[in-house]
């Protein structure tokens, strides 16, 4: 699986998890982040190809989205978006580590 596809699969799994388990505020935050993460991933692919698909690269590209969020969201929504972002990054890191372990044993 290509790295972009892996990140998109992990994003989809995180979103499904949020939809199934969280409240309306988290669903809003996840939906908001989904679009921005997709744009950030596309930007990484366009600029670097597959070589730079790291959580750090994604975080760097997401800073523009957070700058926009500062102007278009209420303070409480910004806090919620940041919490959801950290939750996603934890999920992403865990999934990437799990995938690396699985691939190493194959």
Contact 36, 29 (CB under 8 A): no
Phi, psi values for residue 22, rounded to 5°: -105, 175
Contact 59, 89 (CB under 8 A): yes
Range 32-71 burial, b when 16+ CB lie within 10 A, else e: bbbebbeebbebbbeeeeeeebeeebbeebbeebeeebee
**pTM (2 d.p.):** 0.84
pLDDT in tens, 53-102: 788 888 988 988 788 778 889 999 999 999 999 999 999 999 989 876 66
pLDDT in tens, 7-45: 899 999 999 999 998 689 999 999 999 999 988 888 888
pLDDT at 106: 47
């Amino acid at each position: 699986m290509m790295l972009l596809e892996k990140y998109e699969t992990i994003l989809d799994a995180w979103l499904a998890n949020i939809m199934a388990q969280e409240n309306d505020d988290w669903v809003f935050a996840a939906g908001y982040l989904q679009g921005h993460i997709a744009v950030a991933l596309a930007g990484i692919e366009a600029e670097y190809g597959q070589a730079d698909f790291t959580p750090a690269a994604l975080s760097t590209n997401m800073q523009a989205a957070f700058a926009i969020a500062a102007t278009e969201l209420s303070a409480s929504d910004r806090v919620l978006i940041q919490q959801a972002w950290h939750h996603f990054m934890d999920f992403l890191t865990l999934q990437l580590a799990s995938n690396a372990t699985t691939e190493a044993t194959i």
